[in-house]
Structure 1
Amino acid sequence: MPISELINLRQFLHQHPEIAGEETTTAEKILAFFANLKPDHIIENLGGNGLAFVFKGQKPGKRSLFRAELDALPIQETGEPSYKSQTTGKAHLCGHDGHMTIICGLGEKLAAQRPETGEVVLLLQPAEETGEGAKRILDDPQFEQIKPDYAFALHNLPGFPLHRVVIRKGTFAAGSTGLTISLTGKTSHAAHPDAGINPAQAIAQMLQTLPNLTEKLKTFALVTVIHAEIGSMAFGTSAGKGSLSLTIRAFDQVDLESLIEMIIEEVKRVASAEKLGCEISFVESFAVSKNDPKAAEIAEGVMKELGLAQIEKPEPFRWSEDFGLFSQSCPSYLFGLGAGENCPQLHEPTYDFPDEIIDTGVKVFEGIVRKVNG
């Protein structure tokens, strides 16, 4: 299929975005595309709307997995491409439409020339944006059929020149989680606050102490307060409930887990001292994306052979990627692909994936396939 057909596919996907957990039509479109490529095995409804396409070699060997994401964002697109999102309040503003298209392009290459050894798995995962999809896939009993020896993924990166590859040894992107602390006290008349239990003092303490817990760690970590609420707009009432929401991130998985434990301990200590009921809930949890040295050697060797200019990132990215969970479970490699220095940033309402990097992504992935699977 000429590259123009892949571009048409990408623009179709851009026009019909579906957010995390709703990716049924997107999955159907990808399934229809792969039907013509006759993979040796297809797994549907993997971890929700996920799909896996398996291309088998003649001889035994390694199983390599290449991942893209199905979901879009719940944001209104304000850019004006001719193929603008047709769904109000939803748009592909992270480039998952482009990542899917690259995997489809790789599927064409594998259909034209099967791998010599082992198996190549092309995985389309749901719910990347909410940090739920990778876990659902790894927990799905069907995943045992495609458990890889190596996993690879890319992410387009605005702010970097087109076609440049952005690489990093070790941690590529931070792990993170959202955390909400819900405190329950007792309302009373504002004239008699002593008759109630007001969570204001506890929240004030937590605002001071929780962000500073990162000082106990040796590597980068960050606690960002994103929301706080106490009581309600009733001037005659002393608040009886409150909540505090944070985003926690770190470059090291052990540090991330240690920081979460420290936060829970401190929250329970303060709540107990203030005689408050306390509940802690987590949302949008992402593991640290960690690059395996051997997988890095394979991928970066391919990039050099293709003559692609490499940018080595001195520090990991502070944002998180759901691919991190794959990287915690098998040797993996995540890299960036420059989307242009003047490209709007990811998740901005005017962002649009640059079609000219589809071919670059396909070439890197195919190069990796030929190195691992022949």
Structure 2
Amino acid sequence: MDKTTLKQLSEFRKTLHQYPELSGEEKETAKRVLEFFKGIKPDKTIKGLGGTGLAFIFEGKESGPTSLFRCELDGLPIKEENDIKYISTFPGKSHVCGHDGHMAIISGLGIELSKNRPIKGKVILLFQPAEETGEGAKAVLEDPEYGQLQPDFAFALHNLPNYETNQIVLKKGPFAAASTGMIIQYKGRNSHSAHPEAGNSPAEAMAKTIVALERLPDAMKKFTLVTVIHAQLGEIAFGTTPGEATVRATLRAYENETRDLLVTYAEKLCQQIAKEYGLEVSFSYTETFAATHNDPEAWDFGNEAAKKLGLKTKHIRIPFRWSEDFGLFSIHTKTLLFGLGSGKKQPQLHEPNFDFPDELIPTGVGMFAEIVHLLHT
């Protein structure tokens, strides 16, 4: 990549960094991306995909496969703590996951495709909304416009702190965990706090639930993890015995089926606790992510691209515990999600002082461009 293009992409990333938007609200971000692509001139542009999403399509002259390359539009509800000129201008919102960098990489791939269009088939560049909440991939996949695209392969990357800068992290099969946010609500009966015996407080049931849920993985044969993230008992009213309690937890596993089994066990556990204390219990779920599963054929293209570019690779054995809603694409098509090392000393993702290193941009663009070359020439 020449210095002029890198400078252009770096400046674009910094602009995106200054104006982060939360999941489902990425209207201005989408406008900025649309403006950037005016000079690139794809063969077709789809707007409003799955809400605020965008797809840019580059068509070859010969028949062949359809490949999709995806990045994320959304930022996080985290206050940025960085000493940089382009720090987020929106209080409490930031790009401390590096989605600004991922967008710059896919934009760089757009520049590359404008110079070297695919010969066979077509290439789709997808800017996906609402990755952080796990709602964006589902919205895109359910959009009728997406139904017309039908990619044979889908590729994405995520920058990974704690790995060598520009190292490619690969794994066949499960790559990132399935997860869901579980909300448990207990209902008892209020009373005056001077007469707690007249009511039915869910306090003890809530305490037992918090402890028991996190021990639940001990009974599972495969890897699972339960993290209680929030609990609330009644209201702040010193004259009242609480009548309601809510416990929120994130449940994880490396496979969708194992996560679903963990959910079933968690519900049964809470139902037993509710019965023991004479409480009503109900469940709801939020931020559900499918496991990201790397297809062997898609993996081959990523591995070959890294070899041809002479990049350092790390082949991991154990999947990552975090979730990525790119996993939903892997249910519908052959996918590859790979890691791009962002430095051993880089702050972790979602930390308030994270900032995507621009030196990763040429590597990310190079990997994707090489995969395009392997698939479409």
Where on the TM-score scale, by shorter chain, does this alignment land: which range? over 0.9
Task: Pick from 115, 124, 128 the counterpart of residue 125 of structure 1.
Answer: 128
Matches of residues 24-43 of structure 1 in structure 2 within 5 Å? 24-43=27-46
Q: Distance in 2 between the 1:287 and 1:148 partners?
A: 19
Cα RMSD for the two superposed structures: 1.4
Cα distance, 1:344 vs structure 2: 1.4
Given the alignment of the two structures, is residue 193 of structure 1 paired with residue 199 of structure 2, yes or no? no
Partner of 2:68: 65
Q: Distance in 2 between the 1:304 and 1:366 partners?
A: 13
Given the alignment of the two structures, is residue 346 of structure 1 paired with residue 349 of structure 2, yes or no? yes
Q: State percent identity of aligned pairs.
A: 49
Cα distance, 1:259 vs structure 2: 0.8
Q: Distance in 2 between the 1:211 and 1:88 partners?
A: 34
Partner of 2:231: 228
Structure 1: which amino acid aligns with 2:352? P
Partner of 2:94: 91
Structure 1: which amino acid aligns with 2:200? I
Partner of 1:259: 262
Q: Distance in 1 between the 2:323 and 2:195 partners?
A: 46
Cα distance, 1:247 vs structure 2: 0.8
| C-alpha contact 1:183 1:199 (8 A) present in aligned 2 | yes
Cα distance, 1:257 vs structure 2: 1.0
Task: Pick from 305, 310, 314 the counterpart of residue 313 of structure 2.
Answer: 310
Cα distance, 1:285 vs structure 2: 1.3
Task: Pick from 264, 277, 281 the counterpart of residue 278 of structure 1.
Answer: 281
Q: Deviations over 1:83-111 (max 9, x none)?
A: 22222221111110110010011011111
Cα distance, 1:307 vs structure 2: 0.5
Structure 1 unmatched ranges of 5 or more: none
Q: Distance in 2 between the 1:310 and 1:75 partners?
A: 32
Given the alignment of the two structures, is residue 184 of structure 1 paired with residue 179 of structure 2, yes or no? no
Q: Deviations over 1:190-228 (max 9, x none)?
A: 343332222123223323332233233322100111122
Matches of residues 299-338 of structure 1 in structure 2 within 5 Å? 299-338=302-341
Task: Pick from 114, 120, 135 the counterpart of residue 138 of structure 2.
Answer: 135
TM-score by length of 1: 0.96
| C-alpha contact 1:93 1:346 (8 A) present in aligned 2 | yes
Q: Distance in 1 between the 2:118 and 2:184 partners?
A: 50
Cα distance, 1:6 vs structure 2: 1.0
TM-score by length of 2: 0.95
Q: Distance in 1 between the 2:279 and 2:232 partners?
A: 15
Matches of residues 200-215 of structure 1 in structure 2 within 5 Å? 200-215=203-218
Partner of 1:241: 244
Q: Which stretch has the larger CA shift, 178-187 or 231-240?
A: 231-240
Q: Deviations over 1:101-123 (max 9, x none)?
A: 10011011111111111111100
The secondary structure found in structure 2 opposite 1:54 is: strand
Q: Distance in 1 between the 2:274 and 2:246 partners?
A: 12
Structure 2: which amino acid aligns with 1:356? E
Cα distance, 1:262 vs structure 2: 1.6
| C-alpha contact 1:219 1:252 (8 A) present in aligned 2 | no
Structure 2 unmatched ranges of 5 or more: none
Q: Distance in 2 between the 1:145 and 1:196 partners?
A: 58
Q: Distance in 2 between the 1:147 and 1:285 partners?
A: 23
Q: Distance in 1 between the 2:201 and 2:317 partners?
A: 46
| C-alpha contact 1:289 1:325 (8 A) present in aligned 2 | yes
The secondary structure found in structure 2 opposite 1:285 is: strand
